[in-house]
Structure 1
C-alpha cells in the first residue's frame, strides 16, 4: 500500500485531483471502501495541497463532492440491486457481522445512521446501500449524507494538509480519527443543547422584584 500511496503523490495534479474525488465516490457506490478506505484519497489530497501541487480549495471541493455523490449513488444502487450485490461479495471480503451492524444502525437511528456511519470504518461503505435497501426516504438520506460528507471530507483534507510529509503517521490511525471526529461532534452538539436549554429555562423564570 505504501508504494501505491507514493505513486499517487507523484501523479500529475489533475489526475491526483480526480482520485481525490473518485476514491470517496467509489467507496459506497461500488463497495470499494470494503477494500480501500476513501479517506486515503482525501488525506493525500491534503498532502498535495501542503506541497503546493493542488489548491486547498479544489481538494476540499473534490473530496466533499466525491463523498456526497458517491453515497447517493450507493443509496440508489442499494435500492435497485442491493441484495444481489451483497450476496455476490464473498464473506472474506465483506464480513456478515459488519452487514448486520449496519442494518442495526439503520433500524435504530434512521437517517442519523448515514451521518454516524460516515465516521465508522466498518459501516460507511455499507450504510448508503443498506439505507436504499431499507427504503429510507431519499430527502432525509441526502440531508444527513451532505452533512456527514462535508465534515468528514473537510476534516481528513485538513489533517492531510497539516501532516504534510508525515501523512503516514495519520494514515494508520484513520479509523480512530474518524471516530474521534464523531465524538467531538457529539460533544459539541450536547454542549450546544445544554446551553440552549439553560438559556430557555432562564428566560422562563419570573423576574424577582425588589
Structure 2
C-alpha cells in the first residue's frame, strides 16, 4: 500500500470521513466526475474502518449521503446547463459512451439511474443526463437513493473485508465499479442487451 494511502488512513477520523465524502460527492455532482476516484475513496473508507480508525456505520452513512446528494446536484446541473455541457469539445473522445448512456436512459428510465451507479462512467454522467432529459425528480430520487444505498454499503463493506488487501481489491473493483461484486447488475445489463439485440433483429426483418 502506498505511503500516500497510509497517510490518509492515519489521518484523524473526521478528516478521513470528510475526504471520502467530498470525493464521492464530487464524482457524482460534476458532469466530468469520471476523472475522480469516488469508488476508490469509498473502499479506502472501508479499509480505515477495518483498522478501527473510524466506525464502519459512519463511513457507510457518509458515502451513501454523499452519493445521493451528489447525484441530486448532478441532476440539477443537467437540468439547467445540460445541453451546454454536452456540446463541450472536451467530451468528444467520450461521445460514443455518452450516446450509449443517453440511449440506456431513454430506454430504461429510472432503472438506468440505478444500474448506472455500478459503472464508473455512467455513475458520473447519468445524473446530469437524467436532468437534461427532464426525468421527474421524485422518480429520479427514488432510483438514485436505492442505488446509492446499495452501492455505498457494498463498496464500503468490500473495503472493510479487504482490510490490508486494499490494493488488490482497488484494482479489481475500483475500475469498473461493483459489477464484479453485484452480479445481479451485470445479469440485468446482459438480459437487456440480449432483448435489444432480438428487438433489432425483429425490426430488421
Q: What TM-score do you get using the length of structure 1 for normalisation?
A: 0.81
How many angstroms does 1:183 deviate by? 2.7
8 Å CA contact 1:115–1:144 kept in 2: the answer is: yes
Could you tell me which runs of 5 or more consecutive residues in structure 1 were left unpaired when the two chains were aligned: 189-210
Name the residue aligned to 1:137.
136
Higher-helix-fraction structure: 2
- Residue by residue, what CA displacement relative to the aligned partner does 1:136-176 show, whole Å, maximum 9, x if unpaired? 01111000000000000100100000011111111011145
8 Å CA contact 1:26–1:32 kept in 2: the answer is: no
Name the residue aligned to 2:39.
39
SS at match of 2:123: coil
- Residue pairs, 1:1-210, within 5 angstroms: 2=2, 4-31=4-31, 33-88=33-88, 90-91=90-91, 95-174=94-173, 175-176=175-176, 178-184=178-184
1:8–1:133 Cα change, 3 Å? same
Distance in 2 of aligned mates of 1:154 and 1:60: 6
8 Å CA contact 1:64–1:149 kept in 2: the answer is: yes
SS at match of 1:124: helix
Name the residue aligned to 1:207.
none
SS at match of 1:125: helix
Q: What TM-score do you get using the length of structure 2 for normalisation?
A: 0.83
How many angstroms does 1:5 deviate by? 3.3
8 Å CA contact 1:118–1:124 kept in 2: the answer is: yes
8 Å CA contact 2:10–2:53 kept in 1: the answer is: no
Distance in 2 of aligned mates of 1:3 and 1:104: 42
SS at match of 1:122: helix
Q: How many residues align?
A: 187
State the structure with more CA Rg: 1
